[in-house]
């Protein structure tokens, strides 16, 4: 019997060593990021190994279920056969586990989050993942996954393969078989606690990256999938009675006087929306970014109306597009595009403009399967939808599709023949990883994220050439341009991933259709991309009633607040302060609230998400 006890102890220690090894790999892979966030190697990194043990043991107990069943059967057979079955099972587990670790290493630099249920939606299209990742990184991670799995399989074979496991007397076997499930269940739950173990038990630092390292990757992804698979069966973000939450949200949406400040010279201008891939506020000098990255955008600001406090509602392109066209806020853990049957029920500004005599078009040179944005674009019912496949001949192509200069040029050529008024949107591509834009690198500042910075510089250069040509067109004098980012991203400026500075993005109105007194001005009301549809429709004097979650930021009587999505809860900002709250850990990730208004602002932000998510469930 002692052989079995020895085997289970060694199996536990083996997996604890595997988990520690994977954390060391993370440390090495993201050493520069850790230093950028001011993490002390000795005082802060090594404690993650200590704080992680409870969740690691829970994970091992799940992994032990199959070996336990095999050993239970082996106890009644004299001939040893279970050793190689456990070896095969463990080898497969090691490959899957290091695949999870490799996935986290691949996404963490940009998403700053662990592999989750939401991230798995992208694995439905592995070609998108491969194309988005820099080739060198993809090769390194593949070798790391395969090499690590092979290394630890070898260690298992040499240290744990036990051919001595065989038949034992029944009065030893039966009690162990009966006790085993209770011990495993206790380990899975984290001991004899009334509430099962959760990720938050390993949280120990104000630096979220250290908490993420401490959370076991296998435990986290299984929990996320099991939780996410039924996420629309029950609202996970309930914090107060629904009637009370609805009353709070109704007050936030209430407008004392429906009086929008008139900013346009004409009632029915042409509208062109330029959606800028991943352009964070760090790219824009006027809102705290580094000078020299977007000089052409800076020149446009001099004659445009800049919105200085716009924040990305979510961190993915499909969330940004749903906000821009449907005025619908981003959701935690899932996106509207993941559920086409719901997304198609959302109102869109394109449908409204189609009804009001506009000629509509959409341009994107990239892969529309990414995040299922292709389906959402179809739901908009654009009269002309220009895709990557529509570009032939001598155009600049990268791993993800056609680069910005050619797509922008195609739009200008088509608009020359377009009847007015028209509504045309273009989604840029070149500032998305792997940043293989065709321009020779113009910026050489020896800073982190230089490929990204140079790709933004390239798109900005394309914008300069685009507007130089657009000003020559006959339709230009009757046109309003809207420049807005789909979301921000990690940049060269160290930011707390859960801070509002990290998701600060630009939004600019520009063109001859803008009244002269608004040119060169700036409005600092809090907003996200989801506020664009109602703001535009109010300017066009078109009914915006269906856009219940969008607000008119040119109406001084609208409530001044912004809600954004974080992975496990809401981010919420008022002029008085802001917070980010996690329903996973039931705690604040970020909090900057005055004591006098803390309770009120917290209730507003959590009520907003509660009502929004319930509506999406019922949509």
Band of residue 596 on the pLDDT scale cut at 50, 70, 90: very high
Band of residue 253 on the pLDDT scale cut at 50, 70, 90: very high
Q: Please, what is the angle between helix 53-63 and helix 217-229, to 10°?
A: 70
Residue 208 has a pLDDT of 76
Q: Which residues contact 555 (CB under 8 A, 6 or more apart)?
A: 255, 257, 258, 259, 260, 261, 538
DSSP collapsed to 3 states, 84-150: HHHHHHHHHHHHHHHHHHHHHHHHHHHHCCCCCHHHHHHHHCHHHHHHHCCHHHHHHHHHHHHHHHH
CA atoms within 13 A on the CB side of 287: 28
Strands 587-592 and 270-276: unpaired
Residue 133 has a pLDDT of 65
How many residues in total does the chain contain? Answer: 619
Q: Are residues 172 and 80 in the same domain?
A: yes
Band of residue 190 on the pLDDT scale cut at 50, 70, 90: confident
Residue 554 has a pLDDT of 97
DSSP collapsed to 3 states, 209-242: HHHHHHCCHHHHHHHHHHHHHCCCCCCCCCCCCH
Asked which of 97-111, 139-153, 200-214, 244-258 is least confident by mean pLDDT, the reply is 200-214
Does residue 386 lie within any of the structural domains? yes
Residue 189 has a pLDDT of 83
Is-contact 360 325, C-beta < 8 A? no
Conformational region of residue 294, where left means phi above 0, alpha means psi within -120 to 50, and beta covers everything else: beta
Q: Are residues 579 and 551 in the same domain?
A: no
Hey, how many other C-beta atoms are within 10 angstroms of the C-beta on 246?
A: 15
Question: Domain range holding 304?
Answer: 268-556
Band of residue 441 on the pLDDT scale cut at 50, 70, 90: confident
CA distance 55 to 191: 11
Does residue 263 lie within any of the structural domains? no
Conformational region of residue 435, where left means phi above 0, alpha means psi within -120 to 50, and beta covers everything else: left
* pLDDT at 565 exceeding the cut of 80: yes
Does residue 451 lie within any of the structural domains? yes
CA distance 396 to 399: 11
CA distance 362 to 368: 12
Band of residue 166 on the pLDDT scale cut at 50, 70, 90: low
pLDDT higher for 64 or 244? 244
Q: Which CATH number do you get for residue 373?
A: 3.40.720.10
DSSP state of 204: -
Is residue 428 helix, strand or coil?
Answer: coil
Residue 172 has a pLDDT of 59
DSSP 384-397: EEE-GGG--SS--B
H or E, element range at 281:
none
CA distance 453 to 493: 11
Q: Are residues 204 and 59 in the same domain?
A: yes
Does residue 157 lie within any of the structural domains? yes
Q: Are residues 341 and 358 in the same domain?
A: yes
Band of residue 44 on the pLDDT scale cut at 50, 70, 90: confident
Band of residue 227 on the pLDDT scale cut at 50, 70, 90: low
Segments in 160-286 forming alpha helices (H): 170-189, 208-214, 217-229, 242-253
- Mean pLDDT calculated for residue range 183-193: 80
pLDDT higher for 559 or 233? 559
Residue 382 has a pLDDT of 94
* pLDDT at 247 exceeding the cut of 90: yes
Nearest CA-CA partner of 373 in 613, 122, 549, 118: 122
Is residue 314 helix, strand or coil?
Answer: coil
CA atoms within 13 A on the CB side of 272: 26
Residue 240 has a pLDDT of 97
Q: Which of 59-73, 117-131, 451-465 has the highest mean pLDDT?
A: 451-465
Q: Are residues 490 and 527 in the same domain?
A: yes
CA atoms within 13 A on the CB side of 109: 22
Joined together, the tokens standing for residue 379 give 């739901």
Hey, how many other C-beta atoms are within 10 angstroms of the C-beta on 329?
A: 27
Nearest CA-CA partner of 363 in 433, 423, 317, 314: 423
Q: List, in sequence order, every beta strand (DSSP E) within 337-448.
A: 359-364, 384-386, 422-427
Q: Are residues 62 and 81 in the same domain?
A: yes
Q: Are residues 406 and 442 in the same domain?
A: yes
Q: Are residues 493 and 422 in the same domain?
A: yes
Does residue 575 lie within any of the structural domains? yes
The per-residue pLDDT for range 8-42, each reduced to its tens digit, is 888 899 999 999 999 999 999 988 888 877 787 77
Asked which of 107-121, 356-370, 446-460, 540-554 is least confident by mean pLDDT, the reply is 107-121
DSSP collapsed to 3 states, 498-558: CCCCCCEEEEEEECCCECHHHCCEEECCCECHHHHHHHHHHHCCCCCCCCCCCCCCCCCCC
Rg (CA), the chain: 27
Nearest CA-CA partner of 326 in 402, 380, 255, 257: 380
pLDDT higher for 135 or 330? 330
Residue 444 has a pLDDT of 87
* pLDDT at 51 exceeding the cut of 90: no
pTM: 0.77
Does residue 143 lie within any of the structural domains? yes
Joined together, the tokens standing for residue 418 give 């377009």
Q: Which residues contact 542 (CB under 8 A, 6 or more apart)?
A: 352, 353, 356
* pLDDT at 124 exceeding the cut of 60: no
Q: End of a domain among 537, 556, 575?
A: 556
CA distance 363 to 437: 18
* pLDDT at 258 exceeding the cut of 60: yes
Asked which of 203-207, 272-276, 331-335, 562-566 is least confident by mean pLDDT, the reply is 203-207
Joined together, the tokens standing for residue 544 give 């915006």
Does residue 426 lie within any of the structural domains? yes
The per-residue pLDDT for range 345-355, each reduced to its tens digit, is 999 999 999 99
Residue 496 has a pLDDT of 85
Q: Are residues 525 and 573 in the same domain?
A: no
Residue 147 has a pLDDT of 95
Does residue 262 lie within any of the structural domains? no
CA distance 170 to 165: 15
Angle CA 425–428–430, to nearest 5: 170
Q: Which CATH number do you get for residue 596?
A: 3.30.310
Joined together, the tokens standing for residue 387 give 């895709």
pLDDT above 90: percentage of residues in the chain: 60
DSSP state of 356: T
Q: Are residues 439 and 419 in the same domain?
A: yes
Task: Count structural domains, the chain.
Answer: 3
Residue 1 has a pLDDT of 57
Residue 54 has a pLDDT of 87
* Average pLDDT taken over every residue of the chain: 89
Hey, how many other C-beta atoms are within 10 angstroms of the C-beta on 445?
A: 12
Residue 125 has a pLDDT of 58
Residues paired with 426 in a beta bridge: 274, 363
Joined together, the tokens standing for residue 99 give 């695949």
Q: Are residues 209 and 248 in the same domain?
A: no
Phi and psi at residue 521, to the nearest 5°: -100, 170
Residue 403, Cβ density class (10 Å: 0-12 exposed, 13-18 middle, ≥19 buried): buried
Q: Are residues 492 and 407 in the same domain?
A: yes
Q: End of a domain among 513, 529, 556?
A: 556
Band of residue 178 on the pLDDT scale cut at 50, 70, 90: confident
Residue 130 has a pLDDT of 61
* pLDDT at 161 exceeding the cut of 60: yes
The per-residue pLDDT for range 79-104, each reduced to its tens digit, is 666 778 888 999 999 999 999 999 88
């Amino acid at each position: 019997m002692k052989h079995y006890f020895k085997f289970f102890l060694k199996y536990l220690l083996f997996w604890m060593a595997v988990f520690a090894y994977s954390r060391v790999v993370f440390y090495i892979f993201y050493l520069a990021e850790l230093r950028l966030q001011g993490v002390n190697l000795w005082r802060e990194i090594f404690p993650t190994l200590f704080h992680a043990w409870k969740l690691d043991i829970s994970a091992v107990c799940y992994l032990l279920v199959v070996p336990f069943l095999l050993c239970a059967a082996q106890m009644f057979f004299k001939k040893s056969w279970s050793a190689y079955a456990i070896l095969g099972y463990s080898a497969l587990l090691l490959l899957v586990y290091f695949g999870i670790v490799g996935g986290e290493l691949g996404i963490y630099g940009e998403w700053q989050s662990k592999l989750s249920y939401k991230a798995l939606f992208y694995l439905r299209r592995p070609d998108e993942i491969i194309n988005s990742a820099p080739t060198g990184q993809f090769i390194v991670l593949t070798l790391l996954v395969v090499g690590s799995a092979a290394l630890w399989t070898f260690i298992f074979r040499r240290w744990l393969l036990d051919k001595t496991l065989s038949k034992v007397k029944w009065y030893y076997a039966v009690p162990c078989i009966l006790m085993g499930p209770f011990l495993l269940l206790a380990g899975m739950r984290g001991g004899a606690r009334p509430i099962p173990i959760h990720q938050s038990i390993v949280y120990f630092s104000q630096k979220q990256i250290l908490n993420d390292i401490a959370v076991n990757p296998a435990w986290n992804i299984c929990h996320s999938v099991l939780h996410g698979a039924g996420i629309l069966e029950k609202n996970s973000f309930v914090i107060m009675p629904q009637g009370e939450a609805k009353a709070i949200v109704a007050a936030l949406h209430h407008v004392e006087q429906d009086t929008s400040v008139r900013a346009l010279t004409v009632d029915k201008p042409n509208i062109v929306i330029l959606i800028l891939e991943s352009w964070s506020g760090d790219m824009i000098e006027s809102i705290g970014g580094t000078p020299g990255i977007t000089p052409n955008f800076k020149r446009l600001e001099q004659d445009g109306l800049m919105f200085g406090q716009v924040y990305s509602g979510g961190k993915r392109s499909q969330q940004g597009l749903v906000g821009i066209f449907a005025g619908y806020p981003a959701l935690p853990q899932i996106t509207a595009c993941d559920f086409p049957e719901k997304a198609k029920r959302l109102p869109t500004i394109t449908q409204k403009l189609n009804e009001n005599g506009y000629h509509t078009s959409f341009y994107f040179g990239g892969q529309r399967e990414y995040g299922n944005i292709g389906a959402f674009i179809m739901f908009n019912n654009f009269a002309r939808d220009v895709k990557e496949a529509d570009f032939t001949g001598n155009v600049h192509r990268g791993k993800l599709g056609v680069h910005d200069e050619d797509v922008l040029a195609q739009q200008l050529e088509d608009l020359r023949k377009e009847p007015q008024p028209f509504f045309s949107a273009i989604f840029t591509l070149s500032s998305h990883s792997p940043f293989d834009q065709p321009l020779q690198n113009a910026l050489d500042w020896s800073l982190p994220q230089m490929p990204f910075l140079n790709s933004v510089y390239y798109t900005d250069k394309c914008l300069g050439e685009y507007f130089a040509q657009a000003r020559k067109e006959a339709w230009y004098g009757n046109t309003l341009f809207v420049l807005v980012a789909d979301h921000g991203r990690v940049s060269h400026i160290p930011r707390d991933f859960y801070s509002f500075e990290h998701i600060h993005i630009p939004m600019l109105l520009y063109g001859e259709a803008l009244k002269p007194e608004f040119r060169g001005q700036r409005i600092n009301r809090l907003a996200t991309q989801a506020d664009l549809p109602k703001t535009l429709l109010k300017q066009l004097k078109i009914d915006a009633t269906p856009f219940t979650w969008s607000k008119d930021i040119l109406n001084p009587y609208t409530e001044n607040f912004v809600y954004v999505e974080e992975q496990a809860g809401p981010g919420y900002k008022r002029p008085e302060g802001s917070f980010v709250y996690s329903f996973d850990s039931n705690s604040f990730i970020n909090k900057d609230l005055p004591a006098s208004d803390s309770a009120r602002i917290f209730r507003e932000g959590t009520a907003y998400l509660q009502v929004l998510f319930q509506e999406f469930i019922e949509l």
